[in-house]
């Protein structure tokens, strides 16, 4: 297995601080031919290349600490679940865009994205009714604008 950790590696930092190394022959290298150092270290430890869906998690959260005792192999679901537990769940009151009634829902604050733009409904029924209503109004607007005299 090529691209093993060497003291003379020229490393750069991308993707929020993860060290990378140039390794054009690596089967999982990105299009720029770079590979994350922590993935190479773990591959050497287990004696095979990682599959694309396998994730190497830094136990102590330090992205620059790629000692084998700080790394563990996980999948996307378990990794997301682990990081979600870092953020407390809170009950929030929202207004349903379908029926315009208030309802409460458990939400986790997240560092990954701003979910405030996503519509949250009180039920599947309201979601379906709202979607059908907005699709109908959009198609009617398109029909009116395409009419030529």
The string of pLDDT tens digits covering residues 48-88 is 999 989 999 999 989 999 999 999 999 999 998 888 877 77
Helix (H, G, I), strand (E, B) or coil at 22: strand
**pTM score, whole prediction:** 0.58
135 Rama class: left (phi>0) / alpha (psi -120 to 50) / beta = alpha
Question: What is the predicted pLDDT for the residue at 38?
Answer: 93
Q: For 105-132, what is the mean pLDDT?
A: 75
Q: Supply the mean pLDDT for the chain.
A: 82
The string of pLDDT tens digits covering residues 22-36 is 888 899 988 888 899
Q: What pairs with residue 67 in β-bridges?
A: none
> Which tokens in the block code for residue 71?
């790394």
CA dihedral 58, 64, 70, 76 (to 10 degrees): 20
More confident residue, 85 or 105: 105
DSSP sequence for 37-103: HHHHHHHHHHTSPPPTT-EEEETTS-TT---GGGEEEE-HHHHHHHHHTTS-EEEEEEE-TTT--EE
């Amino acid at each position: 297995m090529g691209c093993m950790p060497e003291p003379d590696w020229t490393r750069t930092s991308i993707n929020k601080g993860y060290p990378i190394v140039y390794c054009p022959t690596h089967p999982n290298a990105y299009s720029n031919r770079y590979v994350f150092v922590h993935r190479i270290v773990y591959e050497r430890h287990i004696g095979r290349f990682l599959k694309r869906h396998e994730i190497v998690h830094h136990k102590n959260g330090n992205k620059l600490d790629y000692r084998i005792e700080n790394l563990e192999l996980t999948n996307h679901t378990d990794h997301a679940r682990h990081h979600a537990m870092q953020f407390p769940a809170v009950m929030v009151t929202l207004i349903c865009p379908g029926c315009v009634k208030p309802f409460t829902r458990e939400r986790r604050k997240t560092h990954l994205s701003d979910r405030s733009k996503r519509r949250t409904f009180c039920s599947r029924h309201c979601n379906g009714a709202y979607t059908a209503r907005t699709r109908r109004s959009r198609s009617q607007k398109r029909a009116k604008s395409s009419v030529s005299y």
